[in-house]
């Protein structure tokens, strides 16, 4: 019995829906499909542990299994069969309970199409590989796509981890003990976050907040790979997010453009929007598969773009040709998330060793007679 989370089941839904419809529609900035812009589905590839399944779409769906470059015919199935099963799969995903779940209604379908696992291999650069007819090139081409599913409640664009902590040094007189500072700000009045309360108090005390680095050296290198200024740009974005209580990436970038904390514009007006461009590039690289701890090489020339399955059942894509549109969609539809801090409620400013999520950030701490504050980075879709 195959089980999976909503993201993993979404990969099978995309395969099933595309074979049923035979078209992959281009998205507009509002995630609505453009009826006039689409790619014809010729074939869908499904990587298994020891083989690859090929689903060839003609008058029927012809299934082939490839082992060691030897291609053998498995069976034919009707297109209507895939059309009947895609709604069952969608409903099973939307109604699935728990982190991992099974979908009883499609057990026979899974057996019929002979798949043994939901997701692509961990070594694969893409979530799904398609052969499409590309009207722009007037030819068939094989392309890998990343899948960003909106079928779950909260779809994460950039996952968190303990290495995602951005480290800031606090310079100046705290005018109180470290213990008192963390205790007094642990449960602030007015419904604001303790992170906001602490950063605002640090500013009110006249101390200076300086970005010092990122806990994960690999994440730092990945960000530098995208843009040399990106670690510092994200650091300013995170500070703005908490100090001004603005989770929207779009509003954050608007404030950075206005305040110019890195002095890109030297007080002059410019038609260039450097903060916006750099953050858009970051979001797009995340969507294309960049993570915190895996070295990112910035190579996706064999990638077609991003496929997005929506809660209404429709599937749209942003092709690599239309990356400007995709970046615009991302900046307009993402927010900073707040992962669990892992702070000890009974001893503020200290680690809760029993915490399941050990990100450990959001309080003032001392190291080698210097004061520091960590902010964790996680981004999800609205």
- Is residue 108 included in any domain, yes or no? yes
The answer to whether residues 23 and 109 belong to one domain is yes
The answer to whether residues 188 and 336 belong to one domain is yes
Q: What is the pTM of this model?
A: 0.87
What does the pLDDT read at residue 120?
73
The answer to whether residues 73 and 100 belong to one domain is yes
Report the C-alpha gap between 332 and 346 in whole angstroms. 39
Q: SS in 3 state form for the chain? A: CCCECHHHHHHHHHHHHHHHHCEEEEECCCCCEEEEEEEEEEEEEEECCCCEEEEEECCCEEEEEEECCEEEEEEEECHHHHHHHHHHHHHHHHCCCCCCECCHHHHHHHHHHCCCCCCCCCCCCCCEEEEEEECCCCEEEEEEEEECCCCCCCCEEECCCHHHEEEEEEECCCCCCHHHHHHHCCCCHHHCCHHHHHHHHHHHCCCEEEEEEECCHHHHHHHHHHCCCHHHHHHHHHHHHHHCCCCEHHHHHHHHHHHCCCCCCCCCCCCCCHHHHHHHHHHHHHHCCCCCCCCCCCCCCCEEEEEEECCCCCEEEEEHHHHHHHHHHHHHCEEECCCCCCECCCCCCCECCCCCCCCCCCCEEEECCEEEEEEECCEEEC
- Is residue 152 included in any domain, yes or no? no
- If one counts the domains in the chain, the total is 2
The answer to whether residues 166 and 277 belong to one domain is yes
| Domain end call among 147, 174, 202 | 147
| Domain end call among 147, 178, 212 | 147
What does the pLDDT read at residue 125?
65
Tokens found for residue 62:
């012809």
The answer to whether residues 28 and 129 belong to one domain is yes
Q: The domain containing residue 171 runs over which residues?
A: 158-296+331-381
The answer to whether residues 352 and 211 belong to one domain is yes
Q: What is the residue-level pLDDT of the chain in tens, covering all 382 positions?
A: 799 999 999 999 999 999 999 999 999 888 999 988 899 999 999 998 889 999 999 999 999 999 999 999 999 999 999 999 999 999 999 999 988 999 999 999 999 999 988 887 766 668 899 999 987 778 898 999 989 899 987 688 999 999 999 999 999 988 899 999 999 999 998 889 999 999 999 999 999 999 999 999 999 999 999 999 999 999 999 999 999 999 999 999 999 999 999 999 999 999 999 999 999 999 999 988 889 999 998 876 557 889 999 999 999 999 877 888 999 999 999 999 999 999 999 999 999 988 888 899 999 999 999 999 999 999 999 8
The answer to whether residues 178 and 201 belong to one domain is yes
The answer to whether residues 186 and 254 belong to one domain is yes
The answer to whether residues 127 and 218 belong to one domain is no
| Domain end call among 92, 126, 147 | 147
The answer to whether residues 172 and 256 belong to one domain is yes
The answer to whether residues 119 and 174 belong to one domain is no
- Is residue 314 included in any domain, yes or no? no
The answer to whether residues 246 and 375 belong to one domain is yes
């Amino acid at each position: 019995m195959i089980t999976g989370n909503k993201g993993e089941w979404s990969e099978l839904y995309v395969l099933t829906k595309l074979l049923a419809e035979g078209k992959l529609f281009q998205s507009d900035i509002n995630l609505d499909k453009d009826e006039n812009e689409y790619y014809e589905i010729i074939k869908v590839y499904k990587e298994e542990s020891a083989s690859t399944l090929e689903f060839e779409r003609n008058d029927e769906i012809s299934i082939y299994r490839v082992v060691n470059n030897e291609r053998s015919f498995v069976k034919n199935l009707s297109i209507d069969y895939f059309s009947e099963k895609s709604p069952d799969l969608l409903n099973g995903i939307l109604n699935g309970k728990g982190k991992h779940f099974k979908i009883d209604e499609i057990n026979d379908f899974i057996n019929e199409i002979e798949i043994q696992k939901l997701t692509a291999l961990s070594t694969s650069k893409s979530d799904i590989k398609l052969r499409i007819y590309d009207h722009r090139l007037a030819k068939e081409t094989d392309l890998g796509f990343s899948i960003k599913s909106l079928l779950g409640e909260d779809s994460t664009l950039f996952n968190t981890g303990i290495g995602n902590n951005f480290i800031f040094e606090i310079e100046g007189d705290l005018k109180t003990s470290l213990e008192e500072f963390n205790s007094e700000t642990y449960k602030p009045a007015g419904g604001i976050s303790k992170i906001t309360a602490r950063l605002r108090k640090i500013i009110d005390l006249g101390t200076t907040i300086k970005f010092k680095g990122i806990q994960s050296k690999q994440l730092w290198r990945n960000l530098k790979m995208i843009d040399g200024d990106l670690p510092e740009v994200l650091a300013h974005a995170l500070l703005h997010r908490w100090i001004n209580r603005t989770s929207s990436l779009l509003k954050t970038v608007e404030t950075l453009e206005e305040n110019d904390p890195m002095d890109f514009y030297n007080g002059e007006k410019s038609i260039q929007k450097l903060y916006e461009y750099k953050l858009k590039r970051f979001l797009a690289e995340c969507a294309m598969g960049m993570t915190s701890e895996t070295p990112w090489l910035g190579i996706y020339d064999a990638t077609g773009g991003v496929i997005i399955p929506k809660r209404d059942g429709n599937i749209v894509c942003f092709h690599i040709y239309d990356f400007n549109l995709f970046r615009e969609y991302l900046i307009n539809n993402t927010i900073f998330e707040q992962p669990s801090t892992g702070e000890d409620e009974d001893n503020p400013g200290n680690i809760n060793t029993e915490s399941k999520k050990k990100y450990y950030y959001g309080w003032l701490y001392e190291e080698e007679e210097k004061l520091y504050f960590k902010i964790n980075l996680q981004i999800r879709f609205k």
